[in-house]
Structure 1
Amino acid sequence: MLLGLWVMAGSVAGYAAGTQPAAMTREQARQVLDVINDPAKRAEFENTLAAIASQLPAAAPAPAPAATVAARPVSVQPDSLGSDIVQDASSLRGKLIVQAQHFVALFGDLVFVVHWTHTIFADPDSRIILLDAVGRATLILLLALAAEHGFSLLLRRPLLKVTARAMATEQRLNLHAPPQGMSAPSTPDAAGSDDSAARQTQQDDMQAQHATLRLLARVPYSLLHLLIKLLPVGLFFALGTSFAYLLTTTQQARAVTITLTNAYVVARVVYLLMETLFVPRSPAIRLCSASNQTAFMVTHWLNFLVAAPSVVVCLSTLGGVFDMPARGTEAIIRSVVLVEHVLVAIFTWRVRTHVATALQPPARLRAQPFWMFVGRLVHLWWVPAMFFNFALWLIWATHISGGYAWIIRTVILTTAVVILSRVLSVVLYNLQNRLFHVSPALEARYPGLQARMDYYYPVSRKILSFLMFFATAIVFLQALGLPAIHFLVHGRLGQKLIGVIGSVLVAYTVAIFTWEAANAALQGQITRFENSSQTGRASRLRTVLPIIKTVLLALIIIIVAVTTLSQIGINVAPLLTGAGIMGAAIAFGAQSLVKDFITGFFMLVENAIQVGDWVTAGGVAGTVEHLSIRTLRLRSINGDLHIIPFSEVSSIANTSRDYNLVVVDIMIDLGQDTQQLTTILHEELEELRKEPRYTHLVLSDFKFLGIEQADGNGARFLGSIRTSPGAKWTVYRAYYSRLAVRMNREGIKFPVPSFLNLLGNPDGDRGLQVALADRPRTPQA
């Protein structure tokens, strides 16, 4: 074990034991500095400190401030999903802060670089050496760059000649190219079809051979183009190396010049090798199939991408030349390499569309489901590319053991997860389509079932997609090396999360099945009533059906909402108590409204009235046009619409139920033969019943009730006729019309009360009322 490590560890242990630590010598301090500069030794020292800290006694917690004690944080219900999420979120926040601190610590040594630079410039001798080396190296590089640029201008004409020869060769090959887009003539027989396929195959082979020959013809011109462009780079290398020995006076200046020269040459050669594939200004010698726009974009980005490795090489060399500690050099290199990876990520994002287009399967295969999925999947190629890019840097920067093997394993597993999840989703979606498809026999047995299934299909599809996404995310995280499955199966929060999702899904499923079963039962009951000629009961159930549905839906929503809230950890007892108090307050404050609802509900349940009935309610007579749980709408005979709350309806006279009676009230002269009048009344009613229009309206014969009154005003003759519901006014008018003609023909005498009799007779007003009683008050058709 290193001495400095033990000295520092012993100092910490001495402070822990309460003793004064021993003084540190100069040699020990130098060893401690070596430990700090060496990452491996520094990590070993951190492990030693962690082991010592684990054996120290825990300090007593400091008393909480008064304000903190007095404050009572708002918390959810204990031992619930909400409380677990809050606790795990706090723990996750702490872990993320620690990881962020570790990430920032990777660049913490940059501060040391700033201090080292300040120290170098503070020393006059070091400053002179540094400025001399940098100045001479810069001058030499500028001279070499000027020479390279001038030589490149001189070589422009040979480059144009190479390009012209390449274009001439390309045109000569195109003259002998096979025709494209031609197909053999169609023949109806099988032999003709085989011949057409054979010709098409031969044509495809010829085109492939021509493309290969054209690529091979470009290779010599591309190599010649590369060699011509390498000549100025060779001149730069020769001048930079020669001037490094001729124009420098110190070893540091020579090393800086040679290092910068080599870095530039390496970067330039790598760039020219990559440029040979694209050659943006000479498409005739381009070795890859890319458009001019793509070629220019790629070569433009290559200038930035090859610069970062050169900077890394320079820093790794120059750090040793100027005695920079290893920790500073490593910090600078980590930063530069991170910038390089950021540039790679930006470049990946810029070319994502071009690469996805190039990776698309052939057009003849895109109609197949598998290749269609592959065509969609390649549009996401940049996601694993960016992940792989930054993962490489993180593993290199943090010296993770086995990190590259983890990346390869993760890429393979994540790719398999994506493919398998897609295949499984196709299978599950097909199964869902079959479950939601109703057979014709079942649709005939339960009409409207397919429409109800189609109504819930989008919701179920979204739920299935959510479950598939959730399961895929869990497996994906497991493939990345995170214990996602263990978290769900054995973790406290994971188990509660699965329980909550399952409970909510079960609650919603039961609620939907309950709702649909209740609707089906009610609709089936209405159908059975109609099929069994119980029209009244069917109409009554149809009238109260919206009320029953509303109450049932409200009950289901309340139960599901309470279940969901209780599952996520919200205490529903205060909510239910508050809802009860609010309901009581509303009931007391709106008694009339509550009375409307209660009275209306019982009116509808007892089938007191229906739409279309002629009723008298609240002092208004008319036809019922609309019924709700609270109001009754009547259309009176003069066309006015009366909206009457049920709380104002004390009684209802329904004229459209069971049967009606037409009361025949006739005043005849005292000398008139009553038997003759009875015969007339019977005969005219029989004649009326023979007419088809009135046959079903008249339900009984004329019933003579007797003489109710006989005095000086005449005799009051009473009788009755039973009619169908709501038809008494129709029968009344038709019957009296026939009686008027018949009585006039038979000479029936009616009393004519004099004005004096009406004045002297106490019953004169009564007689006038009786005389006018023959006119119906409500001439309803």
Structure 2
Amino acid sequence: MRTRRLLSLASGWLLAILMLAPLPAMAQATDGGGQAPANATLANLLENPETRQQLIDQLRGAASESGAEAAASEAASPSLPRQLAETTSRIVGELGSQLGQVLDAVSGLLAASPSTFDLPAFTSAAINLGLVILATVVLFIAVRRLARPLFTRLSQWSLTGKGLQPLLRLVLSVGVAVLIDALVVALAYVGGNLVATFAVGESGELSTRASLFLNAFLVIELLKAAVRMLFASRYEGLRLLPIAAAYAAYWNRWIARLIGLAGYGLMVVVPLVNAYLSPALGEGIGTLIMIGAYVYAVVVVLKNRKRLRDALNRKAGQTTMAASRISLQLFARTWHLFALAYFTMVLVLTLTRPEDALPFVLLATLQTLVTVLVGMLVSSLLTQTIGRRIRLGDDLRRKLPMLEARLNRYVPTALRVIRAVILIAVVMVVLSAWGAFDLAGWYASEAGRGLVGKLLSVFVILVVAAAVWLGLASLIEHKLNPETGGGVPSARAQTLLSLFRNALAIALITLTAMIVLAEIGINIGPLIAGAGVLGLAIGFGAQKLVQDIITGVFIQVENAMNTGDVITVGGITGVAEKLSIRSVGIRDLSGTYHIVPFSSVDTVSNYMRDFAYHVGEYGIAYRENIDEAIQALQEAFEALREDEEHKGKLLEPLEVAGVIALADSSVNIRVRIKTTPGDQWAVGRAYNRLVKLHLDAAGIEIPFPHTTLYFGEDKDGGAPPANVRVIRQQAREVAAASADEDPAVATDTQAPQEVHNQEDYDGET
């Protein structure tokens, strides 16, 4: 192959020289004759028929070799279905060959003569190994019994301790318990080594058999300790997974059996069989062990499929956050698929890569468990720390009554985002552990570092924007709070601060969005230019809206109205309930809510500026004394000033304007009372009541419209007869009864009661 490559290289150079042959003069001019020997050699080769034919053959061979290499490269990268088919075929073939080798090895052992098998040596080795195993296991059990009080105390402190959050106590307790458990395993391992070295076999030497078992014991028991960290069936306070003790004992026992079967089988039995019997037999036994462990795991997973699904659904029903609930429900339906995929992958790796499959699987599994566990603990810690409803102190709640609700609205959203980031990080680390994704290489690349940097920058920007909004909104809220902001704020301050808060929210959202877009690499220049063009188009197309906004700005600058004022705007009178930059919302006396755009406002009549007046006009009869009436009005005002409810609303003494009109039925007197703004109506109602009472007490008539009928009279002073009629039958009966009793009374009662038209004539008087 190397010779062919050299020939191909030489042929390539010769071909290049051949292509440069038509330019000898240029080559000589540039090189000063340096190319002449090469050209002469090439010419000699081409003139000789034999050498020319050899050169042609070499070029054809190089072309065929390049085609073969291209075909080989195509075959080296087959499609995914083909790769799966080839892998499956290879695994089945290897299984068949291994079974055949096992049968051959067993047949060879059975056919071997007894003399070739040293039974005493085998018996001695088995006894020595059994003694080491027994001593190690007894020592391990004894030390664990001595450590039980420590586990019990740690469990009690985790459940009932004080001073730390429950999750932190659980993590610390489990960490200390794992250290104690690892120390117990280490002591048993050291004790087993001492027994194997000095008490069993030849003193001072550690046999290979004992070393295999002790190393396997150390690895397997440490793995079991890690499993006990998750499923501590005897100690409630040392169990990381929130499951019942019965379920914890079941899964702990099942996983321990699986680890023991696969671990001791592959790390002890298979090496011993390889060393003392046959490598082929050991390889076959290892395959059978993995197949048996796989079948056992699949049976247990399918057996507990429904039970674990129901338990996860119950846990999902207890979860308050929607994302966690949906994730648990989805995992409840598919957990068995993940478990079966995991065990299938372990089996395939063991069969295809028997030399390094076990260390790789153990390390990847350990990384997966640690990553998932850390992610769950961090998520649970965040939930216990900031996921619960935030309760502020009474003093802070009094100063900032909206801060608690605002925090309880923002924190769950931030917690969901953090949980999503944790989930993505866990998935990436797990994929990297199993070789499906190179996390370190991706992060070392420019794209990885850039993406992580952008995500961190966006996170910091959002946190800063949220902090700025919380701070400024809380400051505005503090100013608006009458208990902590320096007294009751004026209506103008309330309106302007409310508008400023809305404008601040819009500006902050816009700036944050622009900065985030610029940070992730989007050019915001066209966006700003487009926004300018769009604003110009909106300005031309929505002139009414622009007029509303401009008029609203000037109304706020001139302090023409504020929220809570009684105003007349656009012909509508009522209380200004909502004031924006574009319109005002008015609630009239009947309760109807009106929205009046500022573009339709020509005049703003505000009844609540600085002070107000109650203007009253009171009529008295023409026969009454005007001075006595004015005195009664003064007395009514003095009574009003003594009223506890209204005396604080009066700003000046009563102002009497005097007689303003001699009306048809009355003499009208006007008075004016200066009041605090907005109280003129209440003061007026109270004063009208007192005026009626005092005028009645003074005997001053408040006239009402009268109609006087004049029948005329002649020159002698005589009046024509008036046709009158008493229409009430009861009045007639009373008059008749009175006439029977007293004629004088009858004469008085015969006076006309009501005058009617000629049609009602019933007699003459």
TM tier, smaller:
0.3 to 0.5
The TM-score normalised by the length of structure 2 is 0.47
TM normalised by structure 1 equals: 0.46
The structure whose RCO (Cα within 8 Å, separation 6+) is larger is 1
